[in-house]
Amino acid sequence: MIGRVINDRFRIVSVIARGGMGKVYRAEQAPLGRQIALKVLEATYEGDNDPEFHKRFFLEASTQSKLTHPNTVTIFDYGKTDDDVYFIAMELLEGRTLHRYLRDEAPLSASKATHIARQICRSLREAHSLGIIHRDLKPANVFLVQHGEQADFVKVLDFGLVKDLGDKGEDLTQTGLFMGSPKYMSPEQIRGDRVDGRADIYALGVLLYEMLTGHAPFERANSVNILMAHVHEEVPPMATHNVDVPWPLEALVRRAMAKAPGDRFASMDELLSALTTVASEAGLALSRSGDAPLSGEYGVGSGSTTLSRSDMLLTPTPDAGLDSLAGLASTSDAQGRRSGVKWVVLVGLLLLSVSAVAFVLVRSSRYGSDGAAPVVTPAPAPEVPEEVEDPAQAAAGVLTTEVTIVSEPPGAEVRIGDSDVVYTTPATLTWTGEEATRGRSVTFRFQLDGYRDLNAVRTVVGRRMHVSGRLQPVDNEQDRARRPPSTSRTPPSSGSMEGNESSVGLMGYKLEPY
């Protein structure tokens, strides 16, 4: 294959890696001159006699091409040549897998482990917002690169076992083959139960455990024993591996690895918020780069949930005691409090003196001889914060949430969750009952002709929710041509969220290889 040109544009240069089903090559894309990675199936490979293998190969490519988050490897193209060479053209990465990183340097510090885990959260949060789950998250599928000045920048790879939850057709992974990696599979995946995004949360919990201890939580002589341990055995304490991990972080891992999906974090957004808070409380290095990724507003800033310590980590089990969260920094606080008091007094007196002088100087320059104040244009009103409910109302079980949706520019079409109902910004609606359930994660999908699609994930936390989207213009006419036609219709007055997503959410991406 060296020197061959695939589909008149990908010239194969050298081999990067070999596997049982094919190879990954370094290639050059013409006429751009861009270096890429080209994943090619062996011509003789038949998927271990699996008749659906080639469909699954294209499912991986078409599904991953929907994902645009910086922490997810980018798919440029995919297809099949005239002589049946199946290929996926993707971003070329220079670095090492988390598998090799752990083999060389584990256990990792709590700061490094949370830094990597938070980036994985961001990647999978976008995937989950599009109804896509990974199902094969493991160290070999996490790649670490140097991204500008940021070391250990994560790229999540190989959505080869993904399941598009919006697909009402056949499940191409239910072919009688064992799919997944035993060390990282969730109990429900092992039992063959219905799988959702919480299976990826479990796998990320396993990854965190391995990063912090240098060992997978369940290491047994064979795969069957490993699978049974995931289903039946409790997670071993991290102290058994002679590592010192802050208890709040260990408690977070335990909750992510709860046997029942309902006992885990409800979403990647919630897990990311918990990781951020635990890292902050423990005084760990915390980089916020990437909290607002290019593909949408997925940050943990304004408009997102702010979880209390107990909300984040307390599990239904009585022994989950996390009082240590409140006392994580108690020693350093006590030491600094005595010296801090006298410094506060001195700084306060200094500030008063400076303020008095500044007031005289500013007043003389801003006011005329008649002493009249100039006309001042008022600043725009700040964004309305989410408001917690009245305790009495909450106790009575009457929950409502008023949702305000705006965009820049206005006039964007917005779909909420799996609904096919379309709202036009600015819009205001009221949720009651299940729609207003606190802690529910909701995806708002913005679309406006001439602008890139935007996904904003928000969590219901109170009586008011403000959702805003700043849309970016498309780069060229080709981007516009790829967009499906608008399907606007007037939303019902009740704000119902019934219906399902057929072509919505896949805007601007090809669904089939041809």
Q: Where are the domains of the chain?
A: 5-91, 96-165+177-292, 383-514
Averaged over successive runs of 10 residues, the pLDDT of the chain (514 residues) comes to 90 86 89 91 62 74 87 92 88 94 95 96 94 90 90 87 42 45 93 92 98 96 94 95 94 96 95 92 66 36 36 38 33 40 50 52 43 36 42 61 90 89 92 84 88 84 82 66 46 37 34 34
Considering the segment(s) 96-165+177-292 as one domain, its CATH architecture is Orthogonal Bundle (1.10)
- pLDDT for 395 equals 52
**Which stretches of 65-155 are DSSP H helices?**
98-105, 110-129
DSSP state for residue 445 in the 8-state scheme: E
Which residue from 396, 400, 391, 445 is spatially nearest to 418, judged by alpha carbons?
445
At 25, which helix (H) or strand (E)?
A: strand 22-29
For domain 383-514, the CATH class is: mainly beta
SS (H, E, C) 133-179: ECCCCCHHHEEEEEECCEEEEEEECCCCCCEECCCCCCCCCCCCCCC
Pair 141, 109: CB distance under 8 Å? no
Query: Is the bond leading into 31 cis (omega within 30 degrees of zero)?
Result: yes
pLDDT tens track for 55-92:
777 877 887 888 999 999 999 998 888 888 889 999 99
**Which residues does the annotation mark as catalytic?**
136
Task: List for the chain the helix, strand, coil content (%; round to 5).
Answer: 35, 20, 45
- pLDDT for 20 equals 63
Number of other residues whose CB lies within 10 A of the CB of residue 35: 13
pTM of the predicted protein model: 0.57
Q: Which residues pair with 514 in a beta bridge?
A: none
- pLDDT for 132 equals 87
- pLDDT for 233 equals 95
Write down how long the chain is.
Answer: 514
DSSP state for residue 198 in the 8-state scheme: H
Pair 453, 507: CB distance under 8 Å? yes
- pLDDT for 179 equals 60
Distance CA 454, CA 471 (A): 7
Number of other residues whose CB lies within 10 A of the CB of residue 197: 24
For domain 5-91, the CATH class is: alpha beta
- pLDDT for 181 equals 86
Number of other residues whose CB lies within 10 A of the CB of residue 295: 20
Is 96-165+177-292 in the same CATH topology as 5-91?
no
Q: Which residues pair with 147 in a beta bridge?
A: 150
pLDDT tens track for 452-463:
888 888 878 778
Distance CA 505, CA 422 (A): 12
- pLDDT for 353 equals 54
Distance CA 410, CA 432 (A): 26
Pair 453, 294: CB distance under 8 Å? no
